[in-house]
Amino acid sequence: MTKAALKGLIQRQEFVLFAILVVICTVFTIITPLFLSAYNIGNLLKAVSMIVIVACGGTLLMMTANFDLSTGGNLIFSNIIFAMTCLAGVPVVLALGITILCGCAIGAINGTLVTRFAVTPFIATLGTWFVFKGIAKAITDNNEIKAGLPKSFDFLGQAQLGPVPMPVVVLVVIVVVFLFLERKTLLGKYSMAIGGNPTAAYLSGIDGNKIIFLLYTITGGLAGLAGSIAASRIGSGNPRMGDGFEFDVIIAIILGGTPLSGGRGTILGTLIGALIVAVIGSGLNMLGMLSFWQLVLKGVILLFAILLNEKLGK
Amino acid sequence: MEEVIIDAKRLVKRFPGVVALTDISFQIRKNTVHCLVGENGAGKSTFIKILTGVYQADEGEILLNGKVHKPKNIRESRKAGITAIYQELNVVDDLTVEQNLSLGKEKHRWGIVQRISDLGKVASILKDLDPRIKLNQKVATLSVAQKQVIEIAKAISSDANIIVMDEPTAAISEEEVRRLFEIIQGLKQQRVTVIYISHRLSEIFEIGDYVTVFRDGQMINTLAVEELNQNGRSQASVELVKMMLGKVLAEHYTPSDIDYQTKMLEAQNLTNNTLKKVSFDLHKGEILGFYGLVGSGKTETARVLYGLDPFEGKVIIKGKECRLGKVRDAIKAGITMIPEERRAEGIFGVLSIRENIPVMKMGNVLKNRVISRFKERNLALSYIQKLRVAARNEEQSVSFLSGGNQQKVVISKCLNSESKIFLMDEPTRGVDVGAKEEIHNIIRELSKEGCAIIVFSSELPEIVNLCDRIILMYEGEIRKVLKNHKDIDSEEIMHIITGGQWGAS
């Protein structure tokens, strides 16, 4: 490898992040050797899978300088829809399909608000966050849906493919698909162009609104998938879960090197960003740190991520 | 004769690679309307910026009332009594007239605004200037001219005795121009000196007392308008234009090989807010030039043809009438545009050259419907070589390239769209002389390959050295179509684009 190429690699945000991830993992392993156990790693990846799945769509979306706060509301809503359809006797696979479609519909509402009615993404997706979180709580009276669920309900969240938990399998599949979308398709290319210079994109004949609408819809669908996994993992539909999910997603994306102003970003960076947040959380849990302090830490990580973005982005 | 208020002495201002002002000396007299004229880049704005403290002169000095005037910033020059009113007005649309007038000077206690009891003289000055403007009116409801009046009122009330107006009439109606002129006449009675910059020569004869002509960073002449007017106005226009342009030579013009049998594009009666029945033909292999002042309809014509603005009339491309409602319609019809603002509209700065070039037609870098990096790379390399883009390699971010090389990337992007009709809006604005020549050669090359090109430019030398026919626009109309030749009469051109009827005088 030439010197210049090496320098280019070191300056890439993914590389910096990866180095940080390795350092953090090493530190935790030294303090508590159990950290590296297969059990702990498996749990960690399961926990992070939902965030990464949604953040994959969210990354492309944020590259266009848009973002989605509603994914948390969508997750809870989807989680309930998945449980209710399964409870109604719909085969699990079909129920999953329906849930994902519902998620897409929520995304499409966001997309319509933003592209057709020119509502700012913050307000549009905050609105749908409230609406669908509210609906989920209202139709369940804020109670769990547990009794009478079929056994197959647990498959998506608890089954294993060999030694690998099912949510991790889904995570890998989604990441691979989005790496491909990002690097090899017009969708990824145009997302970058729209965020980088919307006027130039328009004058180059790119239909920005169509792409943005599509990305909101995709992100919504992914939140539907993540909501189904979440329900299946705990074996019930629970309207009280998923607090702060939307922010975990956004922290992962920003830490991964996609600025709110768009134009840049990578799926790989988002994946590593999500892992860093998850690893710190899991490690501190094992050290017995109160989860309230972890909130503080998350805030610090987010601010650090923004500063890192500024430094490396220029 | 009035006494001298501003005395510029041997001013020099250099920017990297350019001398913006070379040894400028002239005097402005108290209580007069002093006009500055010259083409874009002639040095007028640089002079104003030195006067108002935006820039500092490298050499020489300005005497204000006999004392050295060296403002470090706008605030200092304001203190000295000089206020500039720019085209981008400094009023806040959502506030009322009253709030605007007192902006920054509010009386407050602990940050809580006290009832503004007396605006004092501003209000009465404003009333004198334009009694129709009400203090409690939202500024958004005013016309551009009325907003200018507010700025003028603010300037007078802050005891400005020199007011600079930079193209104040560019965006206002004829009636409002009338009113503005009355106000300027009134200003003279209030012992205010007005420095007036305009592209419209007729205005200079109407309100100017003196006129200074700039060209290529030099002061060509300063004379009394009365003196200039001795031989009639149309003779005077010609004199001014001569001084502004110097001798424009079409020495690099070589006629293109035009296929007059093949019409690539026919525009018929294009009409919208700005344009009035614009009709013309564009032939295969032709380089057609649009020339006119700011607001004459050049850019608007380009925007209509690229599907950016609504219009009435017909556009016929290769014999078929074409609906142009969206950019995609235009690209599909084989039209592509190199936009006026390269950075804001042309390039994707953070992306590499390799990623910029295929954007308009990604089909050229797809393999099995998936983007092929290999194809992208080859495409980029071929254009880098063909247009001689000076870059480290194809992975360099476009924002790091020089203006000329950025423009070459934009042209590559358009070439890749495989269009046959090119709209080029100010294709060489802000690029250095060498790159300019190269871009001109690329344009000539394109015409040889059978493309048809329309160049919209505000630089006459560019037009006469490049174009086969020149369409002269004035106030949204085509005033004349000239066939270019080596001895084309630049005086005639300047006369027509400033609204004169050639031959009528």
Amino acid in the structure at residue A103 = G
Q: Give φ, ψ of A232 to 5 degrees.
A: -65, -35
A281 touches chain B (CB under 8 A): no
Where is mean pLDDT largest: A262-276, B10-24, B193-207?
A262-276
> pLDDT category, B113, cuts 50, 70, 90?
low
B344 touches chain A (CB under 8 A): yes
Which residue in B350, B355, B360 is closest to A204 by CB distance?
A: B360
Contact A186 B355 (CB under 8 A): no
Contact A193 B337 (CB under 8 A): no
CB atoms within 10 A of CB B446: 21
pLDDT, chain B, mean? 87
Please tell me the predicted confidence (pLDDT) of residue A156: 92
* pLDDT average, residue stretch B365-386: 93
CA angle in degrees (0–180, nearest 5) for B258-B262-B265: 100
Instruction: Provide the shortest C-alpha distance from residue A292 to chain B (in Å).
Output: 38
Percent of chain B with pLDDT over 70: 95
Pairs across A and B, CB distance < 8 A = 59
Strands B452-457 and B421-425: what pairing?
A: parallel
Got the DSSP string for B148-214? HHHHHHHHHHTT-SEEEEESTTTTS-HHHHHHHHHHHHHHHHTT-EEEEE-S-HHHHHHH-SEEEEE
B443, B473 contact by CB (below 8 A): no
Contact B359 A193 (CB under 8 A): yes
B299, B424 contact by CB (below 8 A): no
Element (H, E) at B305: helix B298-305
Instruction: List B34's β-bridge partners, or say none.
Output: B195, B210
Contacts of A183 in chain B (CB under 8 A): 371
Decide if pLDDT at B502 tops 60: no
Cα B397 from chain centroid?
A: 28
Per-residue pLDDT of B140-195, as tens digits, reads 888 888 888 888 888 877 778 899 998 887 777 777 788 888 888 888 888 899 99
Which residue in B328, B345, B350 is closest to A205 by CB distance?
A: B328
Contact B355 A206 (CB under 8 A): no
Contacts of B328 in chain A (CB under 8 A): 205, 207
The residue of A204, A209, A211, A266 whose CB has the most chain B CBs within 10 angstroms, and thus the best one to mutate to test that interface, is A204
Architecture in CATH of B249-334+420-505:
3-Layer(aba) Sandwich (3.40)
| Residue in the structure block whose two tokens are 């599907």 | B307
Contact B371 A185 (CB under 8 A): yes
Contact A192 B347 (CB under 8 A): no
Instruction: Quote the longest CA-to-CA distance of chain A.
Output: 63
In B, minimum Cα distance to A193 occurs at B348
What is the rounded (10 degree) CA torsion for B386, B392, B397, B400? -100
A184 touches chain B (CB under 8 A): yes
Could you state, in chain order, the average pLDDT of each consecutive group of 10 residues for chain A (314 residues)? 66 82 91 87 91 97 96 96 95 96 98 96 97 96 91 91 92 96 93 93 93 98 97 93 90 91 92 92 83 84 80 58
Contacts of A189 in chain B (CB under 8 A): 355, 359, 362, 371
B339 touches chain A (CB under 8 A): yes
Please tell me the predicted confidence (pLDDT) of residue B173: 75
Contact B350 A263 (CB under 8 A): yes
The residue of B308, B332, B348 whose CB has the most chain A CBs within 10 angstroms, and thus the best one to mutate to test that interface, is B348
Contacts of B306 in chain A (CB under 8 A): 203
Measured CA to CA, the distance from residue A281 to residue A260 in angstroms comes to 24
Q: Give φ, ψ of B341 to 5 degrees.
A: -100, 95
Contacts of B345 in chain A (CB under 8 A): 197, 199-200, 203
Measured CA to CA, the distance from residue B270 to residue B284 in angstroms comes to 21
> pLDDT category, B220, cuts 50, 70, 90?
very high
Instruction: List B213's β-bridge partners, or say none.
Output: B37, B221
Please tell me the predicted confidence (pLDDT) of residue B491: 77
Contacts of B360 in chain A (CB under 8 A): 204-205
> pLDDT category, B119, cuts 50, 70, 90?
low
Per-residue pLDDT of B417-431, as tens digits, reads 999 999 999 998 878
Structure tokens at B479: 């005033």
Per-residue pLDDT of B277-321, as tens digits, reads 999 999 999 999 999 877 789 999 999 999 999 999 999 998 889
Please tell me the predicted confidence (pLDDT) of residue B117: 53
| Secondary structure of chain A as H, E, C letters | CCHHHHHHHHHCHHHHHHHHHHHHHHHHHHHCHHHHCHHHHHHHHHHHHHHHHHHHHHHHHHHCCCCCCCHHHHHHHHHHHHHHHHHCCCCHHHHHHHHHHHHHHHHHHHHHHHHCCCCCHHHHHHHHHHHHHHHHHHHHCCCCECCCCCHHHHHHHHCEECCEEHHHHHHHHHHHHHHHHHHHCHHHHHHHHHHHCHHHHHHCCCCHHHHHHHHHHHHHHHHHHHHHHHHHHHCCECCCCCCCHHHHHHHHHHHCCCCCCCCCCCHHHHHHHHHHHHHHHHHHHHCCCCHHHHHHHHHHHHHHHHHHHHHHHC
B65, B82 contact by CB (below 8 A): no
Q: Is B485 helix (H, G, I), strand (E, B) or coil?
A: coil
The residue of B338, B351, B377 whose CB has the most chain A CBs within 10 angstroms, and thus the best one to mutate to test that interface, is B351
Please tell me the predicted confidence (pLDDT) of residue B111: 67
The residue of B305, B327, B336, B414 whose CB has the most chain A CBs within 10 angstroms, and thus the best one to mutate to test that interface, is B327
CA angle in degrees (0–180, nearest 5) for B473-B474-B480: 45
Instruction: Provide the shortest C-alpha distance from residue A207 to chain B (in Å).
Output: 8
A189 touches chain B (CB under 8 A): yes
Q: Which residues 6+ apart lie within 8 Å of B42 measured at CB? A: B214, B215, B216, B217, B244
Contact A193 B360 (CB under 8 A): no
Measured CA to CA, the distance from residue A74 to residue A136 in angstroms comes to 9
Measured CA to CA, the distance from residue B97 to residue B136 in angstroms comes to 6
Identical fold, B4-245 and B249-334+420-505: yes
Contact A192 B351 (CB under 8 A): yes
User: According to CATH, what is the number of the domain B4-245?
Assistant: 3.40.50.300
A65 touches chain B (CB under 8 A): no
Kindly tell me the burial class for residue B68, based on how many C-beta atoms sit within 10 Å of its own C-beta (0-12, 13-18, 19 or more). exposed
Q: Give φ, ψ of B86 to 5 degrees.
A: -95, 170
Contact B345 A189 (CB under 8 A): no
Element (H, E) at B28: strand B18-29
Kindly tell me the burial class for residue B457, based on how many C-beta atoms sit within 10 Å of its own C-beta (0-12, 13-18, 19 or more). buried
Q: Give φ, ψ of B279 to 5 degrees.
A: -130, 135
Contact A202 B327 (CB under 8 A): yes
B345 touches chain A (CB under 8 A): yes
Structure tokens at B462: 């560019």
B370 touches chain A (CB under 8 A): yes
Contacts of B364 in chain A (CB under 8 A): none
Instruction: Provide the shortest C-alpha distance from residue A220 to chain B (in Å).
Output: 25
> pLDDT category, B505, cuts 50, 70, 90?
very low
Measured CA to CA, the distance from residue B55 to residue B73 in angstroms comes to 8
A193 touches chain B (CB under 8 A): yes
Measured CA to CA, the distance from residue B435 to residue B407 in angstroms comes to 9
Report domain extents, chain B.
4-245, 249-334+420-505, 347-418
Measured CA to CA, the distance from residue B161 to residue B81 in angstroms comes to 5
Contact A189 B350 (CB under 8 A): no
